[in-house]
Structure 1
Amino acid sequence: MDTALTRRQLVAWRTAIFTIFFVTGLGFASWASRLPAVKNDLGINDLQIGILLFVSGAASIVGLSLANVIVVRWGARRGMIATIITFSLGVFVVGLGVQVLESYAVTAVGLGFMGIGMAATDVMMNVEAAAVEQAFERTLMPLFHAFFSIGTVVGAGIGVAMAAWGVGVAWHLGAIGVLVLVTGLLSLRLVPTRETMHDDPATKTSRRERVTEALAVWRDPRTYAIGAIMLGMAFAEGSANDWLTIAMVDGHAQTEAVGAVALTVFSVAMTVFRILGGPLVDRIGRVWTLRILAAAAAVGLVMFILAPSLPIAFIGVALWGAGASLGFPLGMSAAADDPAKAAASVSAAATIGYLAFLCGPPILGWISHEIGILPTLWIIVGLIVMSGLASGAAKPIAGSHVGAGHPRERTGGSAA
C-alpha cells in the first residue's frame, strides 16, 4: 500500500522528475546538434544519415512498446533505472562509433540504444509526472515538458559551442552520456516506491493480472480519443520542427536566416506557454484550455499559410507555437488520471502521439512534393481542428481534481 509522503519528500520527488525531463532533452539535443560532424567524421551522405534517423525512430517505437512491459515486470522506478542506463549508454556508444571507431554500424547500434532508452524513459517519466500532479493536486505536466524543452535548448547550445571550439563528437557525447547517467540515477534515488506503479516487489497482484490490465486500455474508447488529441498536436508541433524553415524559404520566399528565426519564435512560444500553462489549466480546466489553444493553433497556421506580409507570418507562427504547446503534455496528463492504469494508458497514448512525430514528416514531405509546402499545411489545420473537437476526452475522471479547473472552489478543500 502506498504511504503518505511528507512535503519535503513531495518536493524532492517533483525536483527529481524535473531533472529527468531536463537531462533527457539535453541528451537528445546533444546528438542532434552534432549531425554535421557525424556526417563528416563517418564520411556518409544524406541517405545514410536518413537511415540512422530511421534506426533511431524505429527503436523509439520499440521502446514505447517495451515501457508497459518494463513497468509490469520491474515497476516504474526500477524500470527507469534500466532505461536511463540504456539511453546514456547509447549516447556514449554513438560518440565512440562516430569518432573513435569511425564505424557506421556501431553508431547505428548506439542510436538503437538511445531510441529504446529515451522512448521508454519518456513514458515512465510522464507516468511519474502525472503522479506528482495528483499528489500536489495542481497541473504540472506542461512545466515538466517545459523542462524537456529547456534541456533541448541547453543541449543544442552546448553542441554549438563544442563545434565552434573544435571539440570532437566522442569527447562531447561521452561527457553528456556520463552526465545523463549520473544525474538520472541520483535523481531516481528521490523517487518514492509506490505499489500503484508496481515498484513494491511484495505486491500481491500477479504478473498475469498486470499484463491483462495493461492490455485492457486498448479496449477503452477514451484511449483513442486522447490519442486523437495528441495526434493532432503532435503533427502541429512536428510539422513546425521539420518544415517551418522550408515553408518560410520555399513558400514565402524568405532567406534561410529568416526561416531559422521563425523556428526560434515557434520554439520560444511553445516553451513560454508550457511554463505558464499549468495555472491556466487550473483556472479554466483542461478541456477548455485544449479547445482554446487548438483554435489559436489553427488560426495561427492559417495566418501563416495566407500571410500577405512577413509580420503577419511571424504572428501566425507565434500563435501556432503557443496553440500547439499543451496538447501533448495535457494528453499525457489525461491518460494518467487513473493511477492504477497510468503506465498502460500513457504508453498507449504516447505510442499514438509518437507515431505522428515519426511518420508525419515523411508523409508531409511526399505530399508537399506533389502540391507544394504551403498547401500541404492545410492538412495540419484539419488535424488541429480534429484535436480540438476531441478535447472533451481530456476531462478528468471521477476522483481526479487535476485539470478540472477551480478544484478548490468546487470541493471546498483548503489549498495545499
Structure 2
Amino acid sequence: MNTVTAPRTARRGAVPASYAAQGLGYATVVTALPAIKDRVGIDDMTVSLLLLGTCLAAALGSILADVVAVRRGSRAALVGGLAIQAIGLFVIAATGSFEVLLIAVMVYGVGLGAVDASSNMQGALLQRRHPQPIFGRLYAGYTAAAILATLGTAAVLGASAPATLTLVVTAIVQLAVAAWGVIAFDPARAAHQAHDEPRRRTPLPRRAIWAVGAIVFAAFVIDSAVSSWSTIYLTDGLQAEPAVTPLGYAAYLAAMLVARLGTDPAVRAVGAVRVGVAAILLAVAGAVLVAVWPVVPAAIIGFAAMGAASGTLVPLAFARAGEVLPERSDEVIARVNLFNYAGAVTGAVVLGLVATGPALGVAFLIPAAVLAALLPVLRTLRR
C-alpha cells in the first residue's frame, strides 16, 4: 500500500464529506422526481423504470470503481464517481427531453454506484487509522444529509422556486467534495497490482463476501421496502390524513440517524455480532407490528424500528468488509456493494407484487423473513 501523504485532519473531514455528498445527492434526486416527471411529461410507470435503470447503472458503477481502484486506487474512483454524478445532476436539472433525461439518469446511476463502493473503500482505509469504530458515524453523515436534502426540497417548493434548483446546488456540492478529495482522500491502494499474475494474488474470501453481502442485501430490502411502500400503505391501506402519510418514512429516517450515531459506541460496548442480532430482532418486531396491527401509530412505530435496524446493519457490514482481507479490501468492498442494488430492487418490487391496499401491511413480513434468515451468518461480523 502506498505511503499516506495527505494531512490526517483533512482526510478525517473529506471522507465523511463524501458520505454526506452521496446522501445529499440521492435524496435530492428522489424528492425532485415529481417536478422532473411533470416537466418531461412521463407517468409513474416510467419513473419506476427510471429508478430500476438507476439501480442497474449503479451496479455497473460499482464494477467501474473496482476496476479504477485496482489501477489507480479508491481516491481516483471516488473523485471520478462524484464528478460523474455532478454531470448527471446538471443535465437532469436542465433537460426537458425524455431521451436526454434517460441518458443523464444512467450517467448519474454509474456515478452513484462508483461513489457507493469507493466511499466505503476510503472509509475502510480511514478505519485502519482509528482505534475505535467509525462506520456508524460515516453513515450517520449520509443519513443527516439525506434528511437535509428532503427539507431543502420542501423549502424550495414552499417558496414556489423550481425543484431542480436543488439538483444544481447538490451538483456543485459534489464537485466541491471531489476537488477537495483530489488532495485529501487517501491515496493508498488496497487491491492487487493491475498486471500481477493471478496465481500470486491472495485469493478473495468468497464465503465472507457472500456472508457480508447477505447482510447488505437484507438491509437494503428493508430500506427499499419502507422508502417505496410506507407512504402508499399509510395512504391507501390505512386511509391516513395527507399530512400524516409522510410520517412513516420520516420516522424511519429519524430512527436510522439515531441508530447510526449509536452504532459505534454499541460495537465498542458489546461487539458487532450482538449489535447485529439486536438490530435484526428489532426489525422483525417492527415488521410484525406493521403486519398485525393495521393502525397508523403502530405502522409509524414499526417503520421506525425497521429504520433503526437498517441503519445499524449497513455500517456493520461495510466495516467488516474492509477487515476480512485488508490488502485487497477495495475489491472485497466493490463486490459486497453489488448486493446493495439487488436488495434495493427486491424490496421495491416484491412487496407490490404480493399485496396492495390494506393487505400491503402483511407484505412487510417478507423483509422480516429475509432478516430472520440472516441470524446464522452474523458470526461473520466477529473480528
User: TM-score if structure 1 supplies the norm length?
Assistant: 0.85
**Using the alignment, how far apart are the partners of 1:112 and 1:267 within structure 2?**
26
Compared CA separation, residues 166 and 308, structure 1 to 2 (3 A): closer
Q: Aligned to 1:365, which of 336, 352, 367?
A: 352
Compared CA separation, residues 163 and 208, structure 1 to 2 (3 A): farther
Q: Aligned to 1:271, which of 257, 261, 266?
A: 257
Give a deviation string over 1:309-348, Cα, whole Å, max 9, x none.
Answer: 5444443333222122211121111111032121111111
2:29 maps to which residue? 31
Please state whether the residue corresponding to 2:132 is helix, strand or coil: coil
2:206 maps to which residue? 220
Q: Larger radius of gyration, structure 1 or 2?
A: 1
1:34-53 matches, within 5 Å, as: 34-53=32-51
1:85-124 matches, within 5 Å, as: 85-97=83-95, 102-124=96-118
1:268-307 matches, within 5 Å, as: 268-307=254-293
1:326 maps to which residue? 312
**Is 2:226 aligned against 1:232?**
no
2:8 maps to which residue? 10
> How many residues are aligned here?
382
Identity of aligned residues (%): 22
Q: Is the 8 A contact 1:77 1:188 kept in 2?
A: yes
More off after superposition, 232-241 vs 247-256: 247-256
**Using the alignment, how far apart are the partners of 1:30 and 1:370 within structure 2?**
28
**Using the alignment, how far apart are the partners of 2:344 and 2:285 within structure 1?**
22
Aligned-partner residue type, residue 81 of structure 1: V
1:395 maps to which residue? 382
**Using the alignment, how far apart are the partners of 1:295 and 1:211 within structure 2?**
42
1:17-416 matches, within 5 Å, as: 17-97=15-95, 102-169=96-163, 171-196=165-190, 205-209=193-197, 216-217=203-204, 220-307=206-293, 309-337=295-323, 338-369=325-356, 372-396=359-383
Compared CA separation, residues 252 and 162, structure 1 to 2 (3 A): closer
**Using the alignment, how far apart are the partners of 1:346 and 1:195 within structure 2?**
13
Q: Shift of residue 308 of structure 1? A: 6.3
**Using the alignment, how far apart are the partners of 2:166 and 2:364 within structure 1?**
37
Aligned-partner residue type, residue 180 of structure 2: L
Aligned-partner residue type, residue 158 of structure 2: A
1:399 maps to which residue? none
Aligned-partner residue type, residue 226 of structure 2: A
Please state whether the residue corresponding to 1:189 is helix, strand or coil: helix
List alignment gaps of at least 5 residues for structure 1: 199-204, 397-416
Q: Shift of residue 103 of structure 1? A: 0.9
Aligned-partner residue type, residue 280 of structure 2: A
Please state whether the residue corresponding to 1:192 is helix, strand or coil: coil
**Using the alignment, how far apart are the partners of 2:190 and 2:265 within structure 1?**
27
Q: Shift of residue 210 of structure 1? A: 7.4
Q: Is the 8 A contact 1:10 1:132 kept in 2?
A: no
**Using the alignment, how far apart are the partners of 1:156 and 1:210 within structure 2?**
46
Please state whether the residue corresponding to 1:342 is helix, strand or coil: helix
Give a deviation string over 1:220-243, Cα, whole Å, max 9, x none.
Answer: 211111112122222122211111
**Using the alignment, how far apart are the partners of 2:224 and 2:316 within structure 1?**
17
**Using the alignment, how far apart are the partners of 2:52 and 2:341 within structure 1?**
13
Compared CA separation, residues 173 and 249, structure 1 to 2 (3 A): closer
Q: Shift of residue 141 of structure 1? A: 0.6
Q: Shift of residue 86 of structure 1? A: 0.7
Q: Is the 8 A contact 1:298 1:384 kept in 2?
A: yes
Give a deviation string over 1:271-298, Cα, whole Å, max 9, x none.
Answer: 1110111011111111111011111111
Q: Is the 8 A contact 1:14 1:129 kept in 2?
A: no
Q: Is the 8 A contact 1:304 1:312 kept in 2?
A: yes
Compared CA separation, residues 262 and 72, structure 1 to 2 (3 A): same
Aligned-partner residue type, residue 268 of structure 2: D
**Using the alignment, how far apart are the partners of 2:84 and 2:35 within structure 1?**
23
**Using the alignment, how far apart are the partners of 1:325 and 1:108 within structure 2?**
31
Give a deviation string over 1:19-69, Cα, whole Å, max 9, x none.
Answer: 111112112222222112111111222222223223222211211222211
Q: Shift of residue 169 of structure 1? A: 4.9
Q: Is the 8 A contact 1:229 1:388 kept in 2?
A: no
**Using the alignment, how far apart are the partners of 1:379 and 1:169 within structure 2?**
35
Q: Shift of residue 171 of structure 1? A: 4.2
Q: Is the 8 A contact 2:235 2:245 kept in 1?
A: yes
Q: Is the 8 A contact 1:72 1:211 kept in 2?
A: no
User: TM-score if structure 2 supplies the norm length?
Assistant: 0.92
Aligned-partner residue type, residue 174 of structure 2: V
**Using the alignment, how far apart are the partners of 1:270 and 1:289 within structure 2?**
14
**Using the alignment, how far apart are the partners of 2:198 and 2:9 within structure 1?**
29
